[in-house]
Amino acid sequence: MMEHAWRNYKLYAWGKNELRPLSQRPHSGSIFGSYDLGATIVDGLDTLYIMGLENEYREGRDWIERKFTLDNISAELSVFETNIRFVGGMLTLYAFTGDPLYKEKAQHVADKLLPAFQTPTGIPYALVNTKSGVAKNYGWASGGSSILSEFGTLHLEFAYLSDITGNPLYRERVQTIRQVLKEIEKPKGLYPNFLNPKTGKWGQLHMSLGALGDSYYEYLLKAWLQSGQTDEEAREMYDEAMVAIMDKMVRTSPNGLTYVSDLKFDRLEHKMDHLACFSGGLFALGAATRQNEHRDKYMEVGKGITNTCHESYIRAPTQLGPEAFRFSDAVEARALRSQEKYYILRPETFESYFVLWRLTHDQKYRDWGWEAVLALEKHCRTPHGYCGLRNVYQQEPQKDDVQQSFFLAETLKYLYLLFSDDSVLPLDEWVFNTEAHPLPIKGANQYYRQAPVTLPVSNAS
Ligand code: DMJ
């Protein structure tokens, strides 16, 4: 599957961001637009490396060396997307290979994002122009707010970049974000999705483990894991957030399905985004790494959410899950609105299968992953790459003509790892960024490659 996705990207969209498999041309309408940033190359390269596809890996490495730059282009980039895909991708490749090319490129990209952090609070804007450095927020985001899942999903990459370059600046930037979030008053212990970077005040009180919230919670747990479990502040913030989420947002349907609902002010919207399906793995990973009074309960919730996401898949004739699904008296784990019925090759459900497989070795997670592989082959594969579907509830759904870069970065990587031995990227040595780029755990992984500390001259003698 990876070879097929890569080969067709190479044939029809090489150096562009993504492939349109039906049209056999580049996809330029997505987050990275028509700039030649090679998003699929940078995002997919560590997957090729893990799979041992050496020739393809080399082609990608050569393209990065010869072509990849953000200099002399005037692109308006998403700080979050650029960080998780480009900085994250390069950092993993640096950890894997020690090739200084990737460290330089990771730093090059991160430096282009830094102007976005020039706000009164240090909470970055969402978008930054790579040439002018002018930064701004999305017009649609609650009163000029930045978005929790975006500014809260920089910590792993920026902390690691500081450690491998010896430059503390990147860690300082994300530590500032951490302090704002630590000190601010949290309504009912929860984090709303919107925060104004100028005033430091929350926007609309919408909370979610799906779109706009999701990976913030993920990065609290993972910052602690990445630090070799020394960043206790992150773990405490994670534990406190999960207590509130359990109390206010995790619910069980009449037929016993566990789900995490969105919360709008005081009202539960009994809906779960496909994006929130990563949280099955998150609850389980949090439970497995700390012995406390919540451990057994959280492990059960992690398994329950993963099971619910699997149900959302198998209740669709395509055996692939919708973008969002609801719980009411009439339906459970099913999309109701037409704009919720699509599937864009997302990885989150398979990510939870992978984490739960590693933690429990319950065969059902591999069985579920295999069902998904067959469904992807049946409905999403085309002669020229893989496409998403417009409606998972149709027997023969229309395809969307986009091969997302995260299909190579995440979806295929998690499915591959689900069927690999535990010794391939063991979870006590690696922590996955939110785009499935594995980063080494400090103190536990020989590939951490921390920059040597240079002593001041007077002490060095
Ligand atoms: C990916 O870019 C990341 O997983 C992100 O955290 C959420 N959305 C996509 C995949 O669905």
Provide block-wise average pLDDT over 10 residues at a time, the chain (461 residues): 99 98 94 94 99 98 98 95 98 98 98 98 98 97 96 98 98 98 98 98 98 98 98 98 98 98 97 98 98 97 99 98 97 97 99 99 99 98 98 98 98 99 98 99 98 69 45
Select from 112, 199, 136, 103 the least CA-distant residue to 450: 103
How many residues does this entry show for the chain?
461
Mutate to test the pocket of ligand 1, among 79, 273, 433, 434 (most ligand atoms within 8 A of CB): 434
Q: Looking at ligand 1, which atom is closest to the CA of residue 85?
A: 2
Task: Supply the pTM of this predicted model.
Answer: 0.97
Q: Is the CB of 157 under 6 A from ligand 1?
A: no
Query: What is the C-alpha to C-alpha distance for residues 461 and 454, in angstroms, rounded to an integer?
Result: 12
Q: Is the CB of 346 under 6 A from ligand 1?
A: yes
Describe the strand order of the beta sheet including 135-136 as a list of residue ranges: 76-78, 127-129, 135-136
Q: How far is CA 171 from the centre of its chain?
A: 19
Give me the helices (H) in 69-226, please.
79-81, 88-97, 100-113, 148-151, 155-165, 169-183, 214-226
Q: What pLDDT does 30 receive? A: 81
- Residues making up the annotated binding site are 434
Distance 434 CA to ligand 1 centre (A): 6
Q: Which residue owns the Cα nearest ligand 1 atom 8?
A: 275
Sequence-ordered strand ranges (E) for 380-440? 381-382, 385-386, 430-432, 438-440
Could you confirm whether 348 is annotated as catalytic? yes
User: Cβ(349)–Cβ(410) under 8 Å?
Assistant: no
Query: What is the C-alpha to C-alpha distance for residues 217 and 177, in angstroms, rounded to an integer?
Result: 14
Q: What pLDDT does 458 receive? A: 61
Which tokens sit at 299? 């492990």
- Residues making up the annotated binding site for Ca(2+) are 434
Distance 346 CA to ligand 1 centre (A): 7
Which tokens sit at 165? 């370059």
Q: Is the CB of 445 under 6 A from ligand 1?
A: no
Q: What pLDDT does 457 receive? A: 67
Which tokens sit at 407? 């299909």
Give the pairing type, strands 332-334 and 324-327. antiparallel
Q: Give the orientation angle of helix 2-13 with respect to helix 54-67, to 10 degrees.
A: 40
Residue 26 pairs with which residues in a beta bridge? Answer: 19
Query: What is the C-alpha to C-alpha distance for residues 149 and 142, in angstroms, rounded to an integer?
Result: 14
Query: What is the C-alpha to C-alpha distance for residues 233 and 370, in angstroms, rounded to an integer?
Result: 39
Q: How far is CA 57 from the centre of its chain?
A: 22
Q: What pLDDT does 461 receive? A: 45
Q: Is the CB of 173 under 6 A from ligand 1?
A: no
